[in-house]
Each structure stands twice: as C-alpha cells, then as structure tokens.
C-alpha cells in the first residue's frame, strides 16, 4: 500500500537552502507552499478532465500515462481530485488527495477515497504525476491492480482485473439471476442492480477491502459500500474472492451472489442496531430460498454440533462471525442465523420477516432493537424467541 515518502531538501549541516525561482525548498518532508498546492491541484484537475473526456493525449500530458489504460473501460460519470496536502521540494513533491468518482448509472453519490500522488518536474519545468496509488491505510481501487475489463449484464456491471471477459460474463449471468430473486423476497425499493468486482486472486480481494488476505481466506465474496465505509454509503460493491469462488458448485455460486446482492438491497435498512445473525441470516435465507435445499443440507456444521449434544444456548453473537477465527464456528454462526430467519418466515410469514428486519434497522442503537422489533412485529419476547429457535434447530437438524 502506498505510503508517504519523505523528500529531503538540499542543505548543509541540516540547514534548509532557499532556491530562488522554485515553488518551495523545505527540510525533509515539510509542507510545501500554497503555491505548490495550487499547482498540483491544477495538474490533477487537467488529469480528471482528461479521464472524463476519454482523452488519452491530455491524460499523458499530466504524467503516468500508463494509468489511463487501466481506467479507460470504466464507465465514469464523475472523477475529481481535491488536494489536501503537499510536501517536498522544488523538484519532487508528494501530494495527498481525495479522489471522488461515480460509476455511471450505478452510484447515487460519489465514492471518495484517499490517494497519494508523486510529482516531478519535466524538462520544461512543468509538474507531472510520476505515480498514483492508495493513501496510507486506504484500500486499493480495482484499477490499481491492472487494466479493468468491463462486462454489462441486464441488472449488473462486472469489473475485473486479470480476468477474461468470458469469466466476467459468468458473474454477470449469476448477478442477473440474483437481482430478481432478491426483489421477489425483499421488494423493489432498492436500486435493482449490482456492481461486482473480480480481482485476479485472494490478495487482490483483500487489497480492495483494505484488510489482510488471511481475513478472507475461504470467503467467496464480501459486500461493502465505499470500501472502509459504514452501513449507509453511496455505493455498494460485491467483491469476489476468485480462489474460493472457483471451489463452489453451480448452486453454491448462485447462492453466494444472491446472498451478496441481498446485502446491497437491504443496505439502507441495515445499521448499527442490526445484529449479524439477522443481516447474514436474512441474506442466506434469500440465497437459499428457491434452491429446495433442506436444513440438514444447508447447515452441516450446526447439524454436527447438535448430533454431538452441543445445541447452541443463544443466537450467534457478532463475534461468532469473525472471518479470522475458527471456520467451523463461523459456519455455525451463518447456519444459526439462517435458521432463525427461516423459522420466522415459516411461522410468521415472509412479510413479517421483512418487517422485522426493517424494524430492527430503524433503531439508532443496538440496545433494545431486537427486543423491541420482536415484540412489535412478531409479538414475542427475546427469551421466548430464543427458546423457540433452539427447538427449531434441534427439530430440523436432529
């Protein structure tokens, strides 16, 4: 991940030397002048305009011309930089900036990410970009990983790096099947389309999410808003782990894309009050809804636990869903959340399940959210619901 490089100025015994005619000379890493910041902003404004005009020549005039080839296929409605700081000397600068962009037809508001750019003077004395990448602690963007290939579906946009168009088409087909399935379960009060990112391998997925690869080993896909953002963000992306995805069968691949698309659809009603057993369980419920799979088929880890006399005493906690922990514990958490949502759909009906999800998400904080929604929507207390769920798990898996 790109970091901040300290650029040393010329000097004797640590003293800074002011160079006449240059924008700034500073001791190593000191902030540059407002003039330097203004000059860098002008370069990046020209760079952004070239991206939106699809003007390769104008882009190349701002430096790092190879970056354009990585971006050119992405359908952008907006692309702009805001320089936040500049440091360096009269010959080399490092700039921190916020990049804001929108994918045409998919993003309702700009995605904003931190970027670090390095600039140098050319032979004519003009500033040009020599490199651009994610800021320190910021996630990568797909084009940081190579040229982006784009495949459009009826309800989807699939962007890949290091992937063939044929492979990306298979993801578009799955996403196009997922969208109407989600709308049939959840309703149509969402965008009704999905953006899928397919990096080359697991490491690429982790870089897009700004986390270690070990956190996602064995995880086929993750849905996120603006990478690193919260529950209510302007853009959702389904980020695929190609390594794990390749191990799934046809039904498994469809379930995963439908699960992740459900997260996109429910994002506006998912917040701090929503426990993971509900958000993940509901997404799994939609994913398996039309597959005909039985609880014993869908929940093998929990079935094994029940057979061994380890019936869970309580609904899964958020900690049970940790990606870096015990994979069997993680599987039981997903299976337990799925069975809770399946029980609600069977006993109270699918409309009540949706209403319960929305009622929980409407709370501003976790405390009391589930309890309140259980009482108001389902007419049951949390202890009674938990007891009913334990009985349901035992009966369906025993």
User: Would 385 be classed as within a structural domain?
Assistant: yes
Q: What local confidence, expressed as pLDDT, does residue 16 receive?
A: 30
**Do residue 274 and residue 152 come from a single domain?**
no
**Do residue 276 and residue 398 come from a single domain?**
yes
User: Would 163 be classed as within a structural domain?
Assistant: yes
User: Would 4 be classed as within a structural domain?
Assistant: no
Based on the structure, what is the number of domains in the chain? Answer: 3
**Do residue 386 and residue 274 come from a single domain?**
yes
**Do residue 35 and residue 153 come from a single domain?**
no
- Tens digit of each residue's pLDDT (9 = 90 or more) over 40-96: 999 999 999 999 999 999 999 999 999 999 999 999 999 999 999 999 988 899 999
**Do residue 112 and residue 22 come from a single domain?**
yes
Q: Which residue has the tokens 């800074």?
A: 16
**Domain termination residue (choose one: 114, 138, 162):** 138
**Do residue 26 and residue 133 come from a single domain?**
yes
What's the CA gap between 172 and 194, in Å, rounded? Answer: 9
Residue 91 belongs to domain with CATH number: 3.10.450.50
**Do residue 133 and residue 19 come from a single domain?**
yes
**Do residue 96 and residue 161 come from a single domain?**
no
**Do residue 304 and residue 255 come from a single domain?**
no
User: Domain of 19?
Assistant: 11-138
Q: What local confidence, expressed as pLDDT, does residue 346 receive?
A: 98
User: Would 166 be classed as within a structural domain?
Assistant: yes
**Do residue 40 and residue 24 come from a single domain?**
yes
- Tens digit of each residue's pLDDT (9 = 90 or more) over 115-171: 999 999 988 899 999 999 999 999 999 999 999 999 999 999 999 999 999 999 999
pTM: 0.88
């Amino acid at each position: 991940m790109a970091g901040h490089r300290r650029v040393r100025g010329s000097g004797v015994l640590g003293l800074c030397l002011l160079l006449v005619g240059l924008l700034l000379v500073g001791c190593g890493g000191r902030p540059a002048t407002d003039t330097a910041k203004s000059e860098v902003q002008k370069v990046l404004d020209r760079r952004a305009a070239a991206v939106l005009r699809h003007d390769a020549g104008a882009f190349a005039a701002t430096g790092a011309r190879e970056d354009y080839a990585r971006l050119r296929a992405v359908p952008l409605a907006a692309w702009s930089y805001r320089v936040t700081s500049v440091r360096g000397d009269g010959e080399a600068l490092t700039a921190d900036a916020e990049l804001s962009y929108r994918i045409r037809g998919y993003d309702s508001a700009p995605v904003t990410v931190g970027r670090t750019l390095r600039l140098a003077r050319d032979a004519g004395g003009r500033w040009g970009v020599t490199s651009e990448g994610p800021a320190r602690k910021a996630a990568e963007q797909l084009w940081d990983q190579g040229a982006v290939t784009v495949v459009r579906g009826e309800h989807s946009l699939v962007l890949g790096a290091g992937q063939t168009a044929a492979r990306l088409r298979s993801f578009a087909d799955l996403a196009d099947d997922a969208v109407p399935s989600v709308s049939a379960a959840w309703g149509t009060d969402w965008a009704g389309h999905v953006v899928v990112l397919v990096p080359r391998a697991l490491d690429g997925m982790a870089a897009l999410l700004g986390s270690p690869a070990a956190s996602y080993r064995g995880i086929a896909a993750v849905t996120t808003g603006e990478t690193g953002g919260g529950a209510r963000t302007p853009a959702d992306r389904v980020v695929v782990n190609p390594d794990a995805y390749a191990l799934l069968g046809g039904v498994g691949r469809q379930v995963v894309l439908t699960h992740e698309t459900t997260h996109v659809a429910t994002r506006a009603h998912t917040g701090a009050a929503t426990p993971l057993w509900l958000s993940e369980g509901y997404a799994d419920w939609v994913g398996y809804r039309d597959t005909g799979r039985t609880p014993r088929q869908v929940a093998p880890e929990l079935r094994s636990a029940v057979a061994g006399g380890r019936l869970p005493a309580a609904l899964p906690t958020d900690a049970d869903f940790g990606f870096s922990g015990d994979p069997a514990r993680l599987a039981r958490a997903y299976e337990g959340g799925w069975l809770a949502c399946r029980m609600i759909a069977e006993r109270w009906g699918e409309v009540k399940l949706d209403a319960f999800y929305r009622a929980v998400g409407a709370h501003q904080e976790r405390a009391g959210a589930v309890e309140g929604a259980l009482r108001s929507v389902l007419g049951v207390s949390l202890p009674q619901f938990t007891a009913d769920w334990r009985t349901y798990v035992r009966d369906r898996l025993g």
